[in-house]
Amino acid sequence: MSESALSELTQREQIATRIYPSADEACAYVADAISQLIQQRNEAGKPTVLGLATGSTPVRLYRELIRRHQEEGLSFERVITFNLDEYYGLSGDHPESYRRFMQDQLFDHIDIKPENTHVPDGLAPRTDVFASCHQYEQAILDAGGIDIQILGIGRTGHIGFNEPGSGPESRTRLVTLDSLTRRDAARDFLGEENVPRHAITMGVGTILDARKVFLLAWGESKAPVLAESVEGPQTESIPASFLQLHKNCTFCIDKAAASRLTRERHPWLVGPVEWDSAMIRKSVLWLARKTDKALLKLTDEDYTENGMADLLTEKGSAYNLNIDIFNVTQHTITGWPGGKPNADDSNRPERASPFPKRSLVLSPEPTDDVFCLGGVIHRLANQGHDVTVAYMTSGNLAVPDPDARRAIELINEMGESIQDDTEVKHARLLEQQLNEKGLLGEDTPELRQLKGLIRRGEARSSARQLELAPEQLRFLDLPFYENGRYRRFKTDEADVAAMVKLLEEIQPHQIFTTGLGQDPLSSPALCFDVLLSALKKCKDSAWLKDCLFWLYRGPGAEWEMHEIDMAVPLSPDELEFKIKGIYQHQTQRSQSPSASRQSENSWNLASELNRTTANYYDQLGLSEYEAIECFKRFEPHA
Ligand code: F6R
């Protein structure tokens, strides 16, 4: 794209924003900037001062810096670091403290001097916090100020822990965490109630003093707040928007995080666009929403008054455009997610043959399948397809301790009643381990195994509601999950090998999967990466040439109308079946998916989303359904 076309498209952006196809590419760019500065300073015998963030966002950047240290000799001997924040009340060796995080993710793998690394003191006594924060600011000044500051962004718009209400003058201080921020941290702390309520954070003013700022963001969950920070007014309700005041700040983000920027979302509003079929579909569906009209009721005036006059000129009339998009949208609807046998399939999302199909549903954790496509699984099974649901990870990290304790008591009592010593002994061992690890300690392998088995039981019971037999379920227990913790997972060849084995055994005709566009360190995104790597290994297999891929969005959100390629309506009864299936996941009652969306009761979220999609179809003037599950076609070979 030419410079002038790009600046036309980005005219609403108040912060330089670079969009990358993947987080790794963005990290390579930022790592280049950091390494160049460190090398220059090292050659001049001078220090480099870095401001660092924690959370999942910078993990890949740190991995790249570690790689450069280990493989390319990048030396951190003269580097001085200041972290943005620390939970108040946590000691540096607490598993969830930011000091611990930095040691694990970066400091322990490079040649930085321990005395050169600074993280706010989470244990400063309440009466000393003010002085301790002041000293932190002073230490930054004494080091010569921050050369490069790395930031992530929270869904509240926070940078560091500067929650809404923080002004551009704010300095390092003790703050109260927003409830959304605490909910986002709930998985790490195994429950929202364990997440600290306060933190010490550099202020927005402290951040703005850095000479260069890079903000990184990945995944669709960050998209709304990013657009507000970049294109919205400077406001205390989105503290990141104050980065607009900085003269040398760059946002480096992936495509999913950029998806709400005007240049991605409504490019036709800011400049000329190429009206290919995808752009036409997106814009006409947007117009119908904007004007609150059914597709076939859009008029020439609607088009001209909403910045789409050039499309109208190109296509002649609203009438033609409306009909085209109406038809495309109607053709997404099917009651036959596996294809309708012996029917004309020229306008159906799935092929009629072969019939029956081998349908493979990939579920990163044991709830994703029923939550996102419980209705479709039920239908596929009822329509005679050969369905396999593969649970890619055991999901054991999401089982709360009280549920594990209940299971241990059951094993113990059963053992005692049938006088089985081995069983009783094992129950006692588990109980002892549970007591010893305390509220936030890591589970032992035995406890993880038990928790994994609890989730298997729930998955079986849920699948039974959907009329699947236990033999139709596979539990892959991918190793990356078994050896890791949230935000710190790392996949390798063993994960890919397990996936290849499954694919080659099933040889599916269609695969339902998820994870595209999500936080790259989340389980769904990692499972998706594992799938893509496995597909590369299967590239010569005949089945792959004949396999269609259907993406579901994930438990917290749904595809936008223009992204939907297959919409499967559910009757009120089918929705009930699905909800009953969801209810079998007893241990997940108080867990996310509401972590990624606010909802009074996360168990209702699936039906809320399915009903909302059905309403959209209705509002567009298509048929009226109770609920709809929807999917986007994906071409792994493209
Ligand atoms: C962490 C920090 C926070 C995070 C933000 C995003 O030191 O300052 O502002 O950057 O909460 O967290 P993740 O990266 O986990 O999405």
Indicate which atom in ligand 1 lies nearest the CA of residue 85.
7
Distance 411 CA to ligand 1 centre (A): 40
Burial of 341 (C-beta count, 10 Å sphere; 0-12/13-18/19+): middle
Residue 597 has pLDDT above 60, yes or no: no
Distance 286 CA to ligand 1 centre (A): 32
Q: Which residue minimizes the CA distance to atom 11 of ligand 1?
A: 154
Return the closest-CA partner of residue 30 out of 40, 41, 18: 18
Higher-pLDDT residue of 315 and 234 is: 234
Which amino acid would we find at residue 478? L
Q: Which residue minimizes the CA distance to atom 10 of ligand 1?
A: 152
Q: Tokens representing 260?
A: 């709400």
Q: Which residue minimizes the CA distance to atom 8 of ligand 1?
A: 160
Helix or strand (DSSP H, E) at 511? strand 510-513
pLDDT classification of 442: cutoffs 50, 70, 90: confident
Indicate which atom in ligand 1 lies nearest the CA of residue 519.
16
Residue 249 has pLDDT above 50, yes or no: yes
Pocket test for ligand 1, best of 27, 153, 178 (most atoms within 8 A of CB): 153
Check residue 1 and give its pLDDT: 67
Check residue 556 and give its pLDDT: 82
Least confident of 5-9, 256-260, 298-302, 594-598: 594-598
Residue 386 has pLDDT above 60, yes or no: yes
Least confident of 296-300, 424-428, 602-606: 602-606
pLDDT classification of 601: cutoffs 50, 70, 90: low
Domains of the chain: 16-256 (3.40.50.1360), 267-330 (no CATH), 358-398+452-634 (3.40.50.10320)
- The residue whose two tokens read 């959100």 is 557
Quote the pTM value: 0.93
Least confident of 11-15, 484-488, 555-559: 484-488
Predicted confidence (pLDDT) per residue in 75-102, tens digit:
999 999 999 999 999 999 998 999 999 9
Check residue 321 and give its pLDDT: 96
Rounded to an integer, the average pLDDT of 423-439 is 93
pLDDT classification of 598: cutoffs 50, 70, 90: very low
DSSP 8-state secondary structure symbol assigned to residue 455 = H
Q: Which residue minimizes the CA distance to atom 1 of ligand 1?
A: 54
Residue 558 has pLDDT above 50, yes or no: yes
Indicate which atom in ligand 1 lies nearest the CA of residue 52.
7
Return the closest-CA partner of residue 201 out of 153, 164, 160: 160
Rounded to an integer, the average pLDDT of 273-281 is 95
Distance 185 CA to ligand 1 centre (A): 10
**Strand, coil or helix: 99:** helix
Pocket test for ligand 1, best of 30, 57, 60 (most atoms within 8 A of CB): 57
Q: State the catalytic residues.
A: 163
Residue 381 has pLDDT above 70, yes or no: yes
Check residue 440 and give its pLDDT: 72
Distance 122 CA to ligand 1 centre (A): 17
Instruction: Give the end-to-end CA distance of the chain in Å, rounded to a whole number.
Output: 21
Residue 600 has pLDDT above 60, yes or no: no
List strand residue ranges (DSSP E) for 169-262, in order: 173-176, 198-201, 212-217, 249-254
366 CB contacts (<8 Å, ≥6 apart)?
A: 391, 394, 395, 455, 456, 458, 459, 462, 585
Distance 82 CA to ligand 1 centre (A): 15
Residue 599 has pLDDT above 60, yes or no: no
Q: Which residue minimizes the CA distance to atom 3 of ligand 1?
A: 160
Check residue 596 and give its pLDDT: 41
Rounded to an integer, the average pLDDT of 592-613 is 68
Rounded to an integer, the average pLDDT of 10-34 is 96
Ligand 1 pocket, Cβ-based, cut-off 6 angstroms: 53-57, 84-85, 152-154, 158-161
C-alpha R_g of the chain: 26
Give me the helices (H) in 222-276, please: 223-231, 262-265
Q: Which residue minimizes the CA distance to atom 2 of ligand 1?
A: 160
**Strand, coil or helix: 39:** helix
